[in-house]
Amino acid sequence: MRRRLWSVPLMILTSVAGLPAVAVAEDRTTTTEPLPLERLFDNRAVSDDAHPGEADFDGAGNSLSAQDLHAAGWQPGRRLDLDSASLRWPRTSPGSPDNVRADGQHVRVRGSGNAVSLLVAGTSADGRPGGGVKGSGTVHYWDGTSSPYTLTAPDWRAGPLAEKAVALPHVNTRASGQLAEKARLYAVTVPADPSRQIRSVTLPDDAGPQSDLHVFSAAVRREDSTWTGSWSASSSGYTALGPWQDQTLRLVVHSSAGGSRARIRLANTFASAPVEIGSASVVVQREGASGRGRPVPLRFDGRDGVVMPAGAQAVSDPVGFRVPPGANLLVSIHLPGPVAAAPVHSEAIQRSYVSGAGSGDRTGDEEGAAFTGSLEAWPFLTGVDVRTGSPRAEGVGEGPGSVVTFGDSITDGVRSTQDANRRWPDVLSQRLRAQDDVPRYGVLNQGISANRVLSDRYPGDGVSDDTGGVSALHRLERDVLAQTNAHTVVVLEGINDVRWGASAEDVVAGLKTFAQRARERGLRVVGATLTPCEGYKDCSPEVEARRSAVNEFVRHNGGVYDAVLDFDAVVRDPARPQRMLPAYDSGDHLHPGDAGLKAMADSVELRKLVP
């Protein structure tokens, strides 16, 4: 056990009108002001491959490779946009202090948002991989209040690859040089009160004598309520494609909410190396790969393009561009360097386009003649956001915000009509736009075909032809909590778990965890019942029993959900409830067709979506 350098503030519980009990801190620390994290660094995690003895991350002479970090694009001082939070890799050289072993230190973190993001990893004192390190800390606000949190830093050598921010191919050791073993770093978040200005964070102090919780960076995940998510897709895997070099992708996406300003979100999820985006543009689709007018260029921090480090994201600068509601857009991305694999959303159910080999930057082309190839997935692109009005205009207020529809292939729209935007979230968006009783929310589709609540289809690292995604619990942070101005999440998932052998009790436990984590961040959580599947090849009576048990929980959930949508009751055959009504069946007895998806969306009582 190392000697404590900071004392923990005495916490006095009080209540604030309209809010849960929070803790007010009486400051008894040895320092009167919180310090920047870098001034508290007390551990060396990174070594040069030629001098592995310069660092000792875990107390057993092991460390991260500086060369591996550089190859991943994680250079000293580099900004890393992870799950909508802007963190920064320490601006230090190999062998220098670059992280804090959490021990109750008082760290300066400023801003307002629904979460504080920390770049972390856990280590074991004996150097053996463990299950991660858990600890409790406090978020402090400028008004004198504070709120407690608990976080887990997964182990840097044994933690889940599905949740990692980046995986490096080696571990440096004093004893044997370098091991061909993956080292992991994680971006984790803890909830914060978005109505208060954050002043600082007290790091956990209860990790235990045999383990350490290391913190490399911390930042507030800021919210901007003037933006609304209009379109989104989840990264469902990292798969071989192309290869492309000096070519342009022209991706077709369908807006939900409209606005007069726009930005796009790109992601290099699951990657092990950086990718360069040479330039990008957006235009309303006329037909095929041709735009309705000249595409509007997009910039990134004032530059034409951006390099995304492994695992990181990029958001374009706001641009004056009118996005019509319910319209197809062409988002073009120039890839100047070789690209042989990419994060993708595999079930786009939408034809997109790619220019010919070596055709160069075609992001500015109005006509589609250069786009001689097609693709049925969405690589790199994960979101389109909209805002109404100029940021300098008076009276620009909050946007309506977004509803996240979260699930598997039924939400993804598998077996709906190609290129027709007839997924149930698309129909829900049409209904929202056609009324004035509730806000006209943007609808973000975060369905992934073959996805499960509890277990990963895609392992979360490496090139794979499995694009069923990581589990709902592993992708919750990225695909729900980090989505633009999200107010509500609708959860329709679990049929794949029960089809592939998970017990109803385990699925229910997973759904409870999902809902708890989302509600901690202030989201309204709406549960949906699982639709019937008798007649599908593996929907046995045992599967039906498990499905029915999950649905019983969803309908009578004891306050786990804020509201319930009974999609099972909507699409089942009254004469045989374990089977889908033939008029709603796509033909495979598992996936609803266009009529069934429309019936599901039409059944949603819109007020259930409103927080």
End-to-end CA distance of the chain: 46
pLDDT above 90 covers a percentage of the chain that reads 90
* CB 230, CB 263: distance < 8 Å: no
pLDDT digits (tens, 9 = 90+) for 365-407: 999 999 999 999 999 999 999 998 654 444 456 899 999 999 9
- Give per-residue pLDDT as tens, 561-603: 999 999 999 999 999 999 999 999 999 999 999 999 999 999 9
Q: Where is pLDDT greater, at 128 or 221?
A: 221
* Residue whose tokens read 């277990």: 455
Which tens digits make up the pLDDT trace of 33-59? 999 999 999 999 999 999 999 999 999
Other CB atoms within 10 A of residue 271 CB = 25
238-248 average pLDDT score: 97
Q: How much is the pLDDT for 26?
A: 37
Instruction: Assign 3-state DSSP to the chain and report helix, strand, coil percentages, each to 5.
Output: 15, 35, 45
The arithmetic mean of pLDDT across residues 4-33, rounded, is: 39
Assess whether pLDDT exceeds 90 at residue 28: no
The whole-angstrom separation of Cα 453 and Cα 451 is: 7
Could you tell me the two tokens for 316?
């374009």
Q: 400-611, what's its fold?
A: Rossmann fold (3.40.50)
- 232-388: what CATH class? mainly beta
> Confidence class of residue 73 from pLDDT cuts 50, 70 and 90?
very high
pTM of the model: 0.93
Instruction: Decide if pLDDT at 13 tops 60.
Output: no
- According to DSSP, the residues that pair with 250 across neighbouring strands are 332, 353
pLDDT in tens, 426-471: 999 999 999 999 999 999 999 999 999 999 999 999 999 999 999 9
Please tell me the distance from the alpha carbon of residue 474 to that of residue 286, in angstroms, as a whole number.
Answer: 38
pLDDT, mean over the chain: 93
pLDDT score of 130: 75
The structure tokens listed for 483 are 């989505």
Question: Residue 534: beta bridge partners?
Answer: 536
Domain boundaries, the chain: 10-222, 232-388, 400-611
pLDDT tier for residue 423 given thresholds of 50, 70 and 90: very high
Overall average pLDDT of the 545-574 stretch: 98
pLDDT digits (tens, 9 = 90+) for 252-288: 999 999 999 999 999 999 999 999 999 999 999 999 9
Q: Residue 271 and residue 460: Cα distance in Å, rounded?
A: 9
Q: Residue 238, SS3?
A: strand
Residue 270 burial (CB count, 10 A): 29
Mean pLDDT in residue range 598-609: 98
Q: What are phi and psi of 161, to 5 degrees?
A: -65, -25
Mean pLDDT, to the nearest integer, of 162-177? 95
CA distance 498 to 391: 48
Residue 90 has pLDDT above 50, yes or no: yes
Average pLDDT for residues 197-226, to the nearest whole number? 91
**How would residue 208 be classed by pLDDT, with cut points 50, 70 and 90?**
low
